[in-house]
């Protein structure tokens, strides 16, 4: 591998929302840098142009510096329940909603689904489980208003 003179992370492609990690080599004679990889500014995922760059300390350091600047947006969801029934879902962005209710008293046996306790615990518990076809209201302003009230 050629000796690295400099690693640069100056270029951001706003259309693709990626930031490039460019490498300049000692023997380049003023040539343009080579793109070692691009880092997605939404997810932090790295797309290498050449796997030779994967193990280089300078590249790993540049990637970690880019990842430190990424602000991951956590979706906010407010679920409205009235009379024990799911009535409304407000969200800051598009989401899918499913409901699991372990209060199965009075429910016909054929309507119940067997739900495992967890991913690693296969013991089953009967529950009412549905994917909801509700209109999910995506309204970030409303969600922020509700979270402000709820958090006090």
* pTM for this prediction: 0.52
Share of the chain above pLDDT 90, in %: 41
- The label of the residue with tokens 């790993």 reads 60
Distance from C-alpha of 140 to C-alpha of 127, rounded to nearest angstrom? 32
pLDDT per residue as tens digits for the range 123-134: 999 998 877 666
The pLDDT of residue 11 is 93
Q: Which two tokens stand for residue 132?
A: 């909801």
């Amino acid at each position: 591998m050629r000796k690295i003179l400099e690693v640069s992370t100056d270029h951001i492609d706003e259309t693709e929302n990626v930031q490039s990690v460019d490498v300049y080599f000692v023997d380049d004679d003023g040539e343009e840098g080579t793109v070692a990889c691009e880092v997605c500014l939404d997810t932090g995922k790295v797309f290498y142009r050449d796997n030779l760059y994967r193990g280089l300390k300078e590249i790993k350091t540049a990637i970690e510096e880019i990842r430190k600047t990424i602000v991951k947006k956590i979706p906010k969801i407010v679920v409205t329940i009235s009379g024990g029934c799911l009535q409304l879902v407000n969200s800051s962005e598009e989401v899918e909603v499913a409901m699991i209710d372990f209060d199965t008293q009075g429910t016909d046996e054929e309507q119940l689904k067997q739900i495992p306790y967890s991913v690693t615990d296969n013991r089953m518990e009967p529950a009412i489980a549905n994917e909801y076809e509700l209109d999910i209201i995506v309204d970030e302003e409303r969600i922020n208003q509700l979270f402000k009230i709820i958090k006090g």
